[in-house]
Amino acid sequence: MSRQLDKTYNPKEIEPKLYEKWCENKYFHAEADRSRKPFTTVMPPPNITGKLHMGHALDNTLQDILIRYKRMQGYNALWIPGTDHAAISTEVKVTNQLKDEGIDKRELGREGFLKRTWEWKEEYAGTIESQLKKLGVSCDWDRERFTMDEGCSKAVEEVFLRLYEKGYIYKGSRIINWCPVCQTSLSDAEVEHEEQAGHFWHIRYPIVGTDRSLVIATTRPETMLGDTAIVVNPEDERYTDIIGKKAMLPLVNKEIPIIADAYVDKEFGTGAMKVTPAHDPNDFEIGKRHGLEEIHIMNDDATINENGGKYAGMDRYEAREAIVQDLEDQGYLVKVEEYTHSVGVHERCHHTVEPLIKQQWFVRMEELAKPAVKALETGELKLIPERMNKIYLQWLNNIRDWCISRQIWWGHRIPAYYCDECGEMVVQKGGAPYVCPKCGCNHFTQDEDTLDTWFSSALWPFSTLGWPEQTEDLDYFYPTDVLVTGYDIIFFWVIRMVFSGFEQTGKCPFHTVFFHGLIRDDQGRKMSKSLGNGIDPLEIIDQYGADALRLTVVTGNAPGNDMRFYKERVEANRNFANKVWNASRFILMNMEDKVISRPDAEDLTAADKWILSKVNRLAKDVTENMDKFELGIAVQKVYDFIWDEFCDWYIELAKYRIYHADDNYKAANAALWTLKTVLADALKLLHPYMPFVTEEIYSVLVPAEESLMMSSWPEYDEALDYPREENIVEHIKDIVRGVRNARAEMNVPNARKAKVYIVCENETLCEGFETLKESVNPLMNASELIIQKTNDGISEDAVSIVVPDGAVYMPLEDLIDFEQERERLLKEEERLKKELARVNGMLNNEKFMSKAPETKIAEEQAKLEKYTQMMEQVQERLASIRK
């Protein structure tokens, strides 16, 4: 073998070279091939608003592990990469970039702004691609997609038109989530809820024509300007006599009706609540049921509008303060309670959202949700871990119509056109109509709004394969197989892909969703810019290599569970890569210039069969774990096998035969063949996790093969189970460990060799031990290994070690130079006498005992106890030697 591994593993040099080779040879590329079974997954497209972070590193590493595993199993594996246009986030980024240049986006106009945004996309999409390549992802870059490319845009228009024609998409006025900072509507899924300290203001609403009042508690007193009713439960006996009466709205001095509705919880608060239909989603529904007026009191920027009277023009929080003060001055404020409650904030800018009634585009969800529910209930769709089922169903069973329009410029523009002459609306693909179907005019203006980002990414599993065209790729690769994603976007994306897949293709877009957790810092905190605890995966790769990072993010990883990131683990995994490298280098150096052939069965020792049996069962266990998506468990088994069984035991057991090849060629050949065979299988099992170091070693170990990533996955073979030999070697390991521990406890120098007697009555074990004598002796520093069935010939003073199914003895005279040990112990005895005299002198000194701190006295008493124990042990050993 001419080529050898370098002395040290250098990821910086090897990783880019290997990735370039993989890409050049199109190993990641897949074409429809009816002779093979496909395995397809789509990459959750990272946003074009930034760079790779640890969440991307985890998500894409898990996907890469699965795709490499399936590729090696012989599947026609396709992993489709891409990026998302991230409408609101990108618009904010580009707007801020323009501000830094002193440019207002409105000065540029829509077209100018979009030109700048496409420039942003080209820069950052390319950055993300190069960063993913550094991680080693084996996706099909020839098929890279973007949610606003021509094909995806065509799919978006097609879906919009189909849903509109079926009545699932409509335009109407409903309560929506409004971000006053980003000036756009949001879907429920884009609103995060966070606990905030606030107040409950208890306000007195006088009942007209009586001397009674109703006390209403609210966390948003400014919304009372838009109150149109007071509502109570129809079965609440406290209020049955006032239903139908009027209440006076404080500050506004307007009479509003008292109505009854079962929505009200009699046990919560006073059992009465105010109704503000234009500013609360639940109040909106109550208002519709009772025909209440909808009074808007807020502008788009969250200032109070003209309906707010004297408070018009004030910011919402400024108005709140003024209203509370006026309520107190006029005697309407009963009390104020501190209250921590869940407040909706925009998940992008983190400002508090306002529920407002606006005319928007919506998707009617009730019917669309049904197939998505049924798929989970019938098992057509499987969520891992299973606990995600409850969250999935809870959201679908309580789903509201989806607000899909956004008041921004970047994104897919809604394909609705309005006649400039008569206002007639036409929804169609391919641009504006030539003529108005109502008045014949040929001038149209397109709807200003764009679609929610998730509208396009909901089509990702099939739009990336050519839909709506019935392409060969769509027919062959769709439905996809597994989706890997974080549990934090189950609502945003997963559910929408499921109902979109059923509606547009009649099929569930994937059969399994593998949810992973989040990567947190070493204190368990979520990584964020504000905390300054984010870790740049590219810096980790630069310092330790991609393999070390990949192994770190997956080790200990369980589906759906968060994990903490410790830099020490990356260092340990870099050390593991070095261990694999050095062990492989040792094997390759000893194989150099030798013709290694498959040995005859009788030439394989118990150690050879033991390690072959171990790696055979490892392949079975790892395959089962990976099929269950227990990727962290699988790689831990591979790690333990390579480090403990292969490197620490088998290589050491094989050395004697390798070093004595001139005396017995067949024995050396059997050892080297076994080393090569087991190393090849171990590299294959490790490859999905650590692709670079395994590929580099394999290319030297098996130069005839094109690439490790294109090689076959190890399969379990029952014929390679060797329980007899496994039992023999496991006993040998116990013996070696016992001897080593005994020598360490007795401080026997490594250079001092001793006879080792193994007393065992089990014929099979004895035969096995005999075949391994020469290999095992160096591991125990044994001068000779004697295997017998009785204690005959073993001196009484021999050190004994109990092991399963037998005992091990070492003559004491072989372990110890009695005269030298006696002199050492006498010196130690003299030193301990002096220490004991000193300690006793201090503890018997009244002056010391009365003035010394308690901690100092305790310290000396502890020394007395320690030296006394040591003296007893030394004197016991001296007595033994004298005997």
One domain for residues 697 and 788: no
Nearest Cα residue to 426 out of 417, 434, 439, 413: 417
Domain limits at 652? 546-702
Amino acid 489: pLDDT: 78
d(CA 680, CA 697): 9
Q: How is the chain split among helix, strand and coil, in percent rounded to 5?
A: 50, 20, 35
DSSP string spanning 145-175? EETTSHHHHHHHHHHHHHHHHTTSEEEEEEE
Is residue 458 assigned to a domain?
no
Q: What's at 569, amino acid-wise?
A: R
- Look up residue 122 and give its two tokens: 């080209």
Structure tokens at 86: 């991230």
Contact 462, 501 (CB under 8 A): yes
Are the beta carbons of 136 and 64 closer than 8 angstroms? yes
- Strand 482-486 to 450-451 pairing: unpaired
Region 142-158: mean pLDDT is 96
Judge if 809 and 855 occupy the same domain. Answer: no
Tokens of 672: 């080297």
What pLDDT is recorded for position 196? Answer: 85
Cα angle vertex 144, ends 140, 148, to 5°? Answer: 160
Whether residue 319 lies inside any domain: the answer is: yes
Structure tokens given for 567:
């830099």
Q: Is the Cα torsion angle 320, 321, 323, 328 positive or negative in sign?
A: positive
The residue among 90, 151, 157 whose CA lies nearest residue 413 is 157
Please say if the pLDDT value at position 759 is more than 70: yes
CA distance 19 to 667: 39
Q: Which of 606, 602, 640 is nearest to 622 (CA)?
A: 640
Q: What is the CATH number of the domain that holds 244?
A: 3.90.740.10
pLDDT of residue 821: 67
Q: Looking at the domain assignment, is residue 446 inside a domain? A: no
Nearest to 61 by CA among 731, 544, 537, 424: 537
Helices (H), 422-566: 453-457, 460-463, 472-477, 495-505, 537-544, 546-554
Q: How many Cα atoms within 13 Å fall on the side-chain side of residue 367?
A: 8
Whether residues 809 and 869 share a domain: the answer is no
For residue 371, what pLDDT is reported? 97
pLDDT tens digits, 77-87: 999 999 999 99
From 355, 383, 400, the end of a domain falls on: 355
CA–CA separation, 328 vs 881, rounded Å?
Answer: 96
**CATH number of the structural domain spanning residue 862:** 1.10.287
CA distance 450 to 453: 9
Q: 203 in a domain, yes or no?
A: yes
Nearest Cα neighbor of 504 from 453, 469, 541, 550 is 469
CB 51 within 8 A of CB 172: no
Q: Do the domain assignments include residue 770?
A: yes
Length of the chain: 883
Cα separation, 116 vs 104, in Å, equals 12
Asked if 678 and 564 sit in the same domain, the reply is yes
For residues 139 and 43, is the Cβ–Cβ distance under 8 A?
A: yes
In a domain, 140, yes or no: no
Q: How many domains does the chain fold into?
A: 4
Tens of pLDDT, residues 32-56: 999 999 999 999 998 888 777 888 8
Q: Are 126 and 83 in contact (CB under 8 A)?
A: no
The mean per-residue pLDDT over the stretch 284-295 comes to 94
DSSP conformational letter for 467: T
Distance separating alpha carbons of residues 324 and 326, to the nearest angstrom: 5
> For residue 526, what pLDDT is reported?
75
851 and 778 fall within a common domain: no
Same domain, 350 and 298: yes
- pLDDT category at 533 given cuts 50, 70, 90 is low
Bridge partners of residue 294, in order along the sequence: none
Say how far apart CA 573 and CA 599 lie, in whole Å.
35
Q: Are 786 and 689 members of one domain?
A: no
Residue 204 contacts residue 388 (beta carbons within 8 Å): no
The verdict on 791 and 654 lying in the same domain is no
At residue 518, the pLDDT reads: 84
Cis before 468 (ω within 30): yes
Do 807 and 855 share a structural domain? no
Mean pLDDT to the nearest integer, 61-89: 96
Give the integer Cα–Cα distance in Å for 657 and 194.
Answer: 67
The residue with tokens 């609103």 is 191
- On the 0-12 / 13-18 / 19+ scale of CB atoms within 10 A, 307 is middle
The type of residue at 421 is E
Looking from the CA of 397 toward its CB, the CA atoms found within 13 Å total 10
Sign of the four-CA dihedral 642, 648, 653, 654: positive
Q: Average pLDDT of 794-817? A: 82
Question: Is there a single domain that holds both residue 777 and residue 836?
Answer: no
What spatial distance separates the first Cα and last Cα of the chain, rounded to whole Å?
60
Distance of CA 481 to the CA centre of its chain: 19
Residue (of 607, 552, 579, 643) closest to 733 by Cα position: 607
Residue 352 identity (one-letter amino acid): T
- Whether 688 maps to a domain, the answer reads yes
**Distance separating alpha carbons of residues 94 and 86, to the nearest angstrom:** 12
Q: What distances in angstroms separate CA 727 from CA 431, 523, 765, 789, one per listed residue?
A: 76, 44, 8, 18
* 796, 816, 836 - which closes a domain: 816
The CATH number of residue 683's host domain is: 1.10.730.10
- The amino acid occupying position 832 is L
Q: Is 26 left (phi over 0), alpha (psi -120 to 50) or beta?
A: left
- DSSP 8-class letter at 643: I
pLDDT score, position 531: 62
pLDDT in tens, 642-676: 999 999 999 999 999 999 877 888 999 999 999 99
Residue 1: pLDDT band (50, 70, 90) is very low
Q: Is the dihedral of CA 742, 746, 747, 748 positive or negative?
A: negative
Those residues whose C-beta lies under 8 Å from the C-beta of residue 224, and which sit 6 or more positions away, are 203, 218, 249, 250, 251, 252, 274, 276, 323
DSSP 867: H
Any idea which of 204-213, 606-615, 741-750 has the lowest mean pLDDT?
A: 741-750
| Cα–Cα distance, 806 to 739 (Å, whole number) | 13
What phi and psi values does residue 41 have, to the nearest 5 degrees?
-145, 150
Q: What is the pLDDT of residue 2?
A: 58
| Residue 369 backbone phi and psi in degrees, to 5 | -75, -25
Q: Are residues 215 and 309 in the same domain?
A: yes
Kindly give, in sequence order, each residue whose CB lies less than 8 Å from that of residue 29, ignoring residues fewer than 6 positions away: 140, 142, 143
pLDDT in tens, 488-506: 877 778 999 999 999 999 9
Q: Which residue has the tokens 């300690």?
A: 839
H helices of 761-817, in order, are: 763-771, 773-780, 812-815
Average pLDDT over every residue of 540-567: 89
In a shared domain, residues 842 and 812: no
For residues 798 and 813, give the distance between their C-alpha atoms in angstroms, rounded to a whole number: 8
**Closest Cα to residue 465, out of 478, 481, 482?**
478
Residues contributing to the annotated binding site for ATP: 529
pLDDT given for residue 340 in this prediction: 83
Average pLDDT over residues 410-433: 94
Phi and psi angles of residue 132, each rounded to the nearest 5 degrees, phi first:
-65, -35
Token reading at 653: 């057991």
CB 795 within 8 A of CB 812: yes
The DSSP code sequence of 645-703 is IIIIIIHHHHHHHHHTTTT-HHHHHHHHHHHHHHHHHHHHHHTTTSHHHHHHHHHHHST
Question: Annotated binding site, which residues?
Answer: 529
Token pair belonging to 183: 């000036």
What integer is the mean pLDDT of 461-481?
A: 97
Q: Are strands 754-759 and 184-186 parallel, antiparallel or unpaired?
A: unpaired
pTM: predicted TM-score of the whole model, two decimal places = 0.86
Asked if residues 781 and 743 have their Cβ atoms less than 8 Å apart, the reply is: yes
Tell which of 324, 355, 386 closes a domain: 355
User: Looking at the domain assignment, is residue 87 inside a domain?
Assistant: no
Most confident stretch, 124-128, 452-456, 845-849: 452-456
Q: Predicted confidence band at 563 (pLDDT cuts at 50, 70, 90)? A: confident
Tell me which of 182-186, 462-466, 820-824, 849-853 is least confident: 820-824
Average pLDDT over residues 198-226: 93
* Predicted pLDDT at 528: 61
Which one, of 92, 95, 93, 68, lies nearest residue 79 by Cα? 68
